[in-house]
């Protein structure tokens, strides 16, 4: 068995015991990939992973996946296949019976948070007395703390984004006259050339007043001299697994200017840069997500831009670009070593420009490790 997946399945079973739950059922999703190394898109066919509190996990899958599943890195995982002419619920029922659910008490079954309703209803019909909950109760605390394989992949994703950020910044006045859409396509090309599998999300290039929209979609606007340009991008890279699948993303934002910026721009940019730096300095185990968000928000409010900071300070990153922990006001979640999240304060002045600076960070035993390392100033050119 491949060690990362062996550890993850065993940890999942321990969490089930701690939660007093009998069974977790995963659907094609990051949870399935996290536990088995198998990645697949959801479909109408029954493809379900059953992880009992005790005993051997089992995967029910269409026989069309036989070749891929024969390479799964989980030696003790029972794979039970069904053909299109079969009734998959008969196989699901047999697996559930083998799980010996609940004893004399009603079974507690935790289903993947993203499981399609049709499959959840199938399980409810087969287990009418069971109590149902969400698998995030056991899997989120595991996935939120990255292991060394995951951290290594996230560091490499950060390096890919760094190299592209330096290349774009270095082009300086060559950026003038380029459309947002063309520059976004060029960034995607560079991400691939530097080793990215594919963009982790739609690359954001937002010039001038478009920068005041945090999730602007690149369009036909040409970059002009003096435009603040918000650049937000990253690419997935593969985890270094002997067998199995795992893709981890980069996510970096810089706001640059070709030429002389607008009058208020330098003050706004320095406020955002200082807020991000203050957050990095405040990160350590035991601090709450709300305290981290408040660190950035209070500094921006003191500068007079509180109403222009319109989103949370950060989001977790792992198999998904957005996942827990969310660095947001009101969250009492305490930071733990191994958590990875973005730190991305921003100020958005409608009709004028926006500024966002974003890095990914990993929580260490006594602070934070930045996973990005490029200049955070606004100047361009080599």
Q: How would you classify the pairing of strands 131-134 and 108-111?
A: parallel
Can you name the CATH fold of 3-143? Creatine Amidinohydrolase; Chain A, domain 1 (3.40.350)
Give the residue from 81, 9, 70, 7 showing the smallest Cα distance to 48.
81
- Please name the helix (run of DSSP H) or strand (run of DSSP E) that holds residue 82, with its range, or none: strand 78-82
Q: What is the mean pLDDT of the chain?
A: 95
Q: Is the domain 148-370 a CATH 3.90.230.10 member?
A: yes
Report pLDDT digits (tens) over 370-381: 999 999 999 997
**For the segment 73-112, what is each residue's pLDDT rounded down to a tens digit?**
776 788 999 999 999 999 999 999 998 886 657 899 999 9
Neighbours of 67 (CB within 10 A): 7
* Kind and range of the H or E run holding 72: none
Q: What is the pLDDT of residues 114-135, one digit of tens each?
A: 999 999 999 999 999 999 999 9
State the DSSP string of 326-359.
EE-TT--PBP-TT-EEEE--EEEETTTEEEE-BE
| Tens digits of residue pLDDT in 24-63 | 999 999 999 999 999 999 999 999 999 999 989 999 999 9
pLDDT digits (tens, 9 = 90+) for 233-287: 999 999 988 777 899 999 999 999 999 999 999 999 999 999 999 999 999 999 9
List, for residues 169-207, the tens digit of each pLDDT value: 999 999 999 999 999 999 999 999 999 999 999 999 999
pLDDT at 1 over 70: no
Residue 349 has pLDDT above 90, yes or no: yes
Each domain of the chain, given as residue ranges in start order, spans 3-143, 148-370
Closest by Cα among 150, 223, 155 to 195: 155
pLDDT in tens, 279-337: 999 999 999 999 999 999 999 999 999 999 999 999 999 999 999 999 999 999 999 99
Q: Which helix (H) or strand (E) holds 300?
A: helix 289-302
């Amino acid at each position: 068995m491949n060690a990362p997946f062996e550890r993850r399945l065993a940890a999942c079973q321990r969490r089930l015991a701690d939660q007093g739950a009998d069974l977790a059922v995963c659907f094609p999703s990051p949870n399935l990939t996290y536990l088995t190394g198998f990645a697949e898109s959801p479909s109408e066919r029954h493809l379900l992973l059953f992880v009992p509190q005790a005993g051997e996990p089992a995967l029910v899958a269409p026989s069309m996946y036989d070749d891929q599943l024969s390479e799964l890195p989980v030696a003790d995982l029972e794979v039970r296949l069904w053909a299109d002419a079969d009734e998959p619920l008969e196989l699901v029922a047999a697996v559930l019976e083998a799980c010996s659910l609940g004893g004399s008490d009603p079974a507690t079954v935790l289903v993947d948070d993203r499981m399609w309703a049709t499959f959840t209803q199938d399980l409810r019909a087969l287990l009418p007395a069971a109590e149902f909950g969400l698998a995030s109760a056991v899997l989120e605390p595991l996935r939120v703390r990255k292991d060394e394989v995951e951290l290594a992949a996230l560091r490499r994703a950060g390096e890919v984004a760094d190299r592209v950020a330096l290349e774009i910044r270095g082009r300086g006045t060559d950026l003038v006259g380029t459309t947002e859409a063309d520059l976004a396509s060029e960034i995607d090309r560079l991400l691939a050339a530097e080793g990215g599998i594919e963009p982790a999300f739609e690359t954001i290039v937002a010039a001038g007043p478009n920068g005041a929209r945090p999730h602007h979609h690149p369009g036909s606007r040409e970059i002009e001299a003096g435009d603040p340009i918000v650049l937000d991008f990253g690419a997935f890279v593969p985890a270094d697994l002997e067998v199995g699948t795992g893709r981890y993303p980069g996510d970096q934002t810089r706001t640059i200017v070709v030429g002389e910026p607008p009058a208020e721009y330098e003050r706004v940019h320095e406020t955002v840069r200082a807020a991000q730096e203050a957050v990095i300095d405040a990160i350590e185990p035991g601090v709450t997500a709300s305290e981290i968000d408040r660190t950035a928000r209070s500094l921006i409010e003191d500068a007079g831009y509180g109403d222009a900071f319109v989103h949370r300070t950060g989001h977790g990153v792992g198999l998904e670009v957005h996942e827990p922990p969310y660095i947001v006001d009101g969250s009492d979640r305490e930071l733990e070593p191994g958590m990875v999240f973005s730190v991305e304060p921003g100020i958005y002045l409608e009709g004028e420009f926006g500024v966002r600076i974003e890095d990914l960070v990993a929580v260490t035993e006594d602070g934070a490790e930045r996973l990005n390392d490029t200049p955070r100033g606004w100047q361009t050119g080599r």
